[in-house]
Structure 1
Amino acid sequence: MSEPKSKPQLREKGRIMSASEIERTLVRLAHEIVEKNNGADHLGLVGIKRRGVPLAERLGSLIGGIEKRPIDTGVLDISFYRDDLSTHDVRPVVVHGALGFDVNDRNIILIDDVLYTGRTIRAALDALFSHGRPRSVQLLVLIDRGHRELPIEARFVGRTVQTTNNEIIEVKLREIDSDEQVLLVEHIV
């Protein structure tokens, strides 16, 4: 009989973004999306569950305010086979479900909180294309921490943070965590 795995011990190293910095970053990203897409015609935002969803909803509201019309937002559910916060050998798995709008011939902005190895985005792209054929797909992440295992690059980045493989970026959003900040934490060895 194997012993249960203990939860990893984590230590906070510092705060990367406060609530106000997250909000200012999202405002900037909303303007960048509108600028790089020549407005919001044919635009759709798709958040990767969990924390990509509230980011997509916030960006949809911001872009809707800029463009004076509602912006379609949808949800992709990507789950992981894992039992702790370790990111080693984590395999993304798509949970099939309705996206929320038709992606065919749309400019889709795929949204996640942190870009790390690229495996989540790879799984999300497969899931997205199972819903239809977008005109284009652009990636937006709040934090890009490097360490890519796949050739995936975000077009829109809130902040780039250099990390070690022992460090974790922890994004907390009020809709999910009742808190609002981005932290750098590390495994205690």
Structure 2
Amino acid sequence: MNLPDIEQTCLELGQRLAAYLQDQQLEQPLLVGIRTGGVWVAERLQEQLHTEDGVSSLDISFYRDDFTRHGLHPQVKGSELPDSIEDRHIILVDDVIMSGRTIRAAMNELFDYGRPASITLVCLLDIGRRELPVQPDLCGVRLPLEEGQLVKLSGPQPLELTLA
């Protein structure tokens, strides 16, 4: 399977996001990346968009629903968000969307900080296999994988995609 050029995909995704923000007339959006890969992708998008607040980050470790299966990740770093996101337009960024559970956890955490005006979901890769009805508003590449295949994004400089 040929994997996409991730840096080029980020560039194209940033261009599509800029057009989307202009079309939707979303002013002063807050870019929020989900640790760690989503933060790396959000930083690439920030380089193109130049949003006022830079990139905020979410560590969803305490919001996950799979503690009994996997336990708590030992390197919890905490989230870095403004004190309130009340009435802000949030651009929620993740590297890979698969089941939808990470996004559900991220939205739960966001609502603990306030009620955003809107949340736009942007993902670099969509590999399908949804367990929850969550779909990205913008996606860099749809990459259906075979059973047992996984992708791993490493970075931050350069971003590289590998198939496991």
Contact 1:75 1:100 in 2 (8 A): no
In the superposition, the TM-score normalised over structure 2's length comes to 0.81
Which whole-Å CA distance do the structure 2 matches of 1:23 and 1:97 have between them? 25
Unaligned runs of 5+ in 2: none
Mapping for residues 14-163 of structure 1, pairs under 5 Å:
16-17=3-4, 21-38=5-22, 41-64=27-50, 70-79=52-61, 89=69, 97-100=79-82, 102-163=84-145
1:86-121 C-alpha deviation (Å, 9 max, x unpaired): xxx558899764414642212111111110101111
Q: Which has the higher helix share?
A: 2
Alpha-carbon offset, residue 73 of structure 1 = 1.7
- Same amino acid, percent of matched pairs: 33
Is the radius of gyration larger for structure 1 or structure 2?
A: 1
Q: Which has the higher strand share?
A: 1
Give the alignment's Cα RMSD to 1 decimal. 2.6
Which whole-Å CA distance do the structure 2 matches of 1:118 and 1:90 have between them? 17
Structure 1 residues 50 and 58: alpha-carbon distance in aligned structure 2, compared to 1, 3 A threshold:
same
Which whole-Å CA distance do the structure 2 matches of 1:15 and 1:70 have between them? 36
Which whole-Å CA distance do the structure 2 matches of 1:101 and 1:30 have between them? 26
Unaligned runs of 5+ in 1: 1-13, 83-88
Aligned residues: 156
Alpha-carbon offset, residue 15 of structure 1 = 5.3
Structure 1 residues 24 and 134: alpha-carbon distance in aligned structure 2, compared to 1, 3 A threshold:
same
Contact 1:15 1:182 in 2 (8 A): no
